[in-house]
A and B are shown apart, each in its own frame.
Chain A
Amino acid sequence: MATTTHEPPKIEGQPERPDRQRPSGNSGNGGWRNMVPADGKLPAVKDYSPPPSSTGIWVVIASITMTFAAFTSALIVRQGSALDWGHLTLPRILYWNTLVLLASSVALEVARRQVGAFMSGSQPRAAKPTRWLYISLSLGLLFVAGQYVAWAQLRSQGLFLATNPNSSFFYVLTAIHAVHVLGGLGGLIRVIRRMNLSILRKSTLDATAYYWHFMDALWLYLLLLLWMKI
């Protein structure tokens, strides 16, 4: 009869979860960083790791990716089985919308870096990053408005949701993407509100930024798909 001795884990005197603590000042995933500002000006910014939002955002992105993979496979199968598949010229405004969305992402990234600098104490005032957050929000709203204009242009050409499979997929894909963008705008508004109240956590901003950048990548993918298939 063999005997195994299980030693208790050696945890006394060690910092909590040492494997998950990183020195502050790194770039990249803020979830791994110490998020207490050096001067302690943001009292509600807590030091803990890892923030669930830094994992959760990837879970959300995985789920949205699966949803659009399903739509994509539906498009490919539907195109393959159809004799009614035609061609649809994409409204030119979509390309301008793309630039607006990318610019929004850039603005958010600037804001994120400035918030990081503010939290680390090297940026004394919070006003500047807030300005960039508003710019990002405005550009995001402009993107949604631009998408609406694109739908209006198609409608003026007599292309409605049920006109043909091309228009059906165009409206469905762009509308579902716009719904997700609106969700991101909601996240941005929440970030701005928390920033103004000085209770913003860096992880919240990071997660919102990752989501927003993912909306860019998703839109670029959709645009390519629509351009190739529709």
Chain B
Amino acid sequence: MHDMAKHDAVAHHAPTSFIGKHVFSLDHKVIGKQYYGMALLAALVGMGLSWLMRIHLGWTNAAIPGLHLLTKNGAPGDVMTPEFYLQLMTMHATIMVFFVLTTAPFAAFGNYFLPIQVGAEDMPFPHFNMMSFWVTFVGFLVLVSSFFVGTGPTLGGWTQYAPLSAIGEVGGPGEGTGVVLWALSIAIFCVGQLLGSLNFITTTLDMRTRGMSLWRLPLSAWAWFITSCMGLTAFAVLMPACILLILDHVAGTSFFVSSNIVINDQMQPHSGGSTLLWQHLFWFFGHPEVYIAIVPGMGIVSHVLITNMRKPMLSHRVLIYSMGALAVLSYMVYGHHMFVSGMNPVSSLAFSFPTLVITIPSTIVVLIWLGSLYGAKLRINSASLFALGFISMFIAGGVSGFFLAQPSIDIMLHATYFVVGHFHLVMGVAAMFGIFAGTYFWFPKMYGRMMNETLGKVHFWMSFVGAYAIFMPFHYLGLAGNVRRYQAFSPDYMQPLIPLHKFITVAALFTGVAQLIFLYNLIHSRFWGAPASDNPWQATSLEWSTPTTPPPHNNFGDKLPVVYHDPYQYGVEGSAGDYVMQTSPEKVTTGSDEA
């Protein structure tokens, strides 16, 4: 330990008032928990919306009691209208992608643990950090408010393709005020994430303690750093796109609406805009967003697995290089979302090639995980189970990506449930499993109490079986020609598929119940869980070196830690057992069976 060099940009006294401590807090740990709480709330809303959609898809004309409370005109007699189904679908996707999959693994865990893992007392710009959360939360409120204004939320899907998204109410319920609120919400969200990325990058580069070289950062810290670099560039592009979309609505400009478009028998007043322009801008953000959602999960899962394997990964550096390669390539593949857009076929080919190339770092990451797991005496607990589940989902969802990377196959499958199954597994469920792995692993440090392991394992197995029961049949549905975004399956050839939809709906409800078990476990353990020790998993990285659990206001008391080792010294002969912490000055002798 060495004397703490107080950092003016960071140092702030522990707040004493309730507002300063829990609401407008500058403490990265509180902000991380606020992000987690918001993501949890958003996930519950998003899951509730998915339940409503699934019930409607299984039993199209069934009344859902109380549904009319969510909409003025979308549920006469509590039966969902086609338009309201699309509105729910849009809100489900937007909430889950932006306010759950982006915020929980990146902003929530990253805020809480990145400064601690690098050995800092806080992020360098705590006011910006606080603004980051509150701006994001305002974005969430703006989005949800669209349920209660005008004709409700937008129905254009989370991609908000022009021209439908840019022409106003003539496009359908929610295409006026709903779209404006959607775009405003996302633009606000972008500002919040840019402020967050600024803090994450500077924390990683400038706030590391003595001895903490970049290569000594844990894989989770690397993942957050790489993600913040992606966020910095991706959200900086989505924000101007949203500004232009809002202007098309409120100022009558023609950025995204071309000439002579007739919608609902009405000639649109716009001229000369490019509908493809929106898609380019959106997907330049959209595909990196996939990795913004999944790369933190990769880091968290690697961190959790190593601790439970009691040995490092086959190659720490190759794993980091691969995550970096995913980040770089993610900007070069975005056009594969536009194979059916009317884009030049040569462009499709140009985007298809890097799409296939990006499978290489993905495969390397998976092989490192599997190779490292081979022969490991893995501790089975809720966190490691969800980490294994993450790998399973990532592989299962990734394999279908090989098919979709090829334009000739994608053209047939693009608008079907095959794609829905693909992205739900590879970025939705996998990222959620990463969040769960992180929650079970870090909860003891965050709250000083252990989560219930039995409930955790029940949660895992129900979620694991349930997720496959929901999303694997999606692939079959897609191959059978089941078009996505239909609210009912009236064509003859889809009729035989309805029983399968009913099965999926039951599986979705079953999986949802598992999440309620998780919620109960989370709340119960927060107040009544068994007390946790400072290092319950016998882990090595700095978050387990804090003087108290949860960590004190400035993380390490009056002394910042000094780092002596790589992050994962497991399977070694140390004074504490089979591991040596990063802060331990003792010499380490490591053995390697492979060497």
Contacts and interface: CB of A to CB of B under 8 A. Distances in A.
Interface of A: 1-9, 11, 16-17, 44, 46, 48, 50-53, 55-56, 59-60, 62-64, 66-67, 69-71, 73-74, 77-78, 80-85, 161-162, 165, 168, 172, 176, 201
Nearest to A82: B272
**A-B pairs with the 8 shortest C-beta distances?**
A52-B124, A2-B595, A66-B236, A82-B272, A84-B272, A162-B252, A81-B274, A70-B237
A81 B124 contact: no
B202 A67 contact: no
B595 A52 contact: no
A3 B253 contact: no
B125 interface: yes
B589 A48 contact: no
A186 to B, nearest CB: 13
B207 interface: yes
Given A1-B591, A11-B211, A56-B202, A71 B240 contact: yes
Contacts of B564: 6, 8-9
A63 B200 CA distance: 14
A172 B247 contact: yes
A155 B207 CA distance: 50
A85 B272 CA distance: 8
B210 A11 contact: yes
A16 B2 contact: yes
B272 A83 contact: yes
B198 A60 contact: yes
B273 interface: yes
Contacts of A9: 210-211, 562-564
A200 to B, nearest CB: 11
B254 A56 contact: no
A82 B124 CA distance: 46
A56 B241 CA distance: 24
Given A9-B211, A67-B237, A50 B591 contact: no
Contacts of B569: 6
B559 to A, nearest CB: 13
A1 B589 CA distance: 12
Interface in B341-394: none
Contacts of A74: 240-241, 244, 255, 277, 281
Nearest to B239: A67
B237 A66 contact: yes
B271 interface: yes
A52 B590 CA distance: 36
Interface in B195-231: 197-198, 201-203, 205-207, 210-211
A161 B244 CA distance: 12
B233 A78 contact: no
A10 to B, nearest CB: 10
A44 B198 CA distance: 25
Contact of B271 (A62, A84, A161): A84
A201 B240 contact: no
Contacts of B589: 3-5
Given A5-B587, A66-B233, A46 B251 contact: no
B588 interface: yes
Given A2-B592, A162-B251, A77 B277 contact: yes
B274 A78 contact: yes
Given A56-B198, A66-B233, 11 more contacts: A1-B591, A8-B564, A51-B206, A53-B124, A55-B202, A55-B205, A77-B274, A78-B273, A81-B274, A162-B252, A165-B254
Contact of B255 (A44, A64, A168, A176): A168
Interface in B98-149: 124-125
A5 B272 CA distance: 68
B8 interface: yes
Contact of A168 (B8, B206, B247, B586): B247
Interface centre among B241, B253, B588 (most CB of A within 10 A): B253
B321 to A, nearest CB: 21
30 contacts: A1-B591, A1-B593, A2-B592, A4-B592, A5-B587, A6-B564, A52-B10, A52-B202, A52-B203, A55-B206, A56-B198, A59-B197, A59-B198, A59-B202, A60-B198, A67-B236, A67-B240, A69-B237, A70-B237, A70-B240, A73-B281, A77-B274, A77-B276, A80-B274, A82-B273, A82-B274, A161-B252, A165-B253, A165-B254, A168-B254
Interface centre among A44, A74, A201 (most CB of B within 10 A): A74
Interface of B: 2, 5-10, 124-125, 194, 197-198, 201-203, 205-207, 210-211, 232-233, 236-237, 239-241, 243-244, 247, 251-255, 258-259, 271-274, 276-277, 280-281, 284, 562-566, 569, 585-593, 595
B591 A2 contact: yes
B243 A172 contact: yes
Contacts of A44: 8
B281 A201 contact: no
A52 B259 CA distance: 49
Contacts of A85: 272
A48 B5 contact: yes
B159 to A, nearest CB: 17
Contact of B253 (A17, A64, A161): A161
B271 A1 contact: no
A6 B253 contact: no
B547 to A, nearest CB: 21
Contact of B8 (A4, A48, A56, A161): A48
Interface centre among A8, A17, A44 (most CB of B within 10 A): A8
Contacts of B202: 52, 55-56, 59
Nearest to B572: A6
Contact of A73 (B125, B233, B280, B587): B280
A103 to B, nearest CB: 29
Contacts of A70: 236-237, 240-241, 281, 284
A60 B202 CA distance: 11
Nearest to B593: A1
B247 A52 contact: no
A69 B566 CA distance: 39
A103 B589 CA distance: 62
Contacts of B194: 63
Interface centre among A5, A77, A176 (most CB of B within 10 A): A77
Contacts of A46: 6, 8
Nearest to A47: B5
Contact of B5 (A16, A69, A172): A16
A73 B2 CA distance: 50
Nearest to B213: A9
Nearest to B588: A6
A218 to B, nearest CB: 14
B274 A53 contact: no
A6 to B, nearest CB: 5
A78 B277 contact: yes
A77 to B, nearest CB: 5
B9 A6 contact: no
Given A6-B565, A11-B562, A201-B8, A56 B258 contact: no
Contacts of B244: 74, 172
B422 to A, nearest CB: 27
Nearest to A69: B237
A1 B562 contact: no
Contact of B591 (A3, A48, A52, A67): A3
A205 to B, nearest CB: 14
B554 to A, nearest CB: 15
Contacts of A78: 255, 272-274, 277
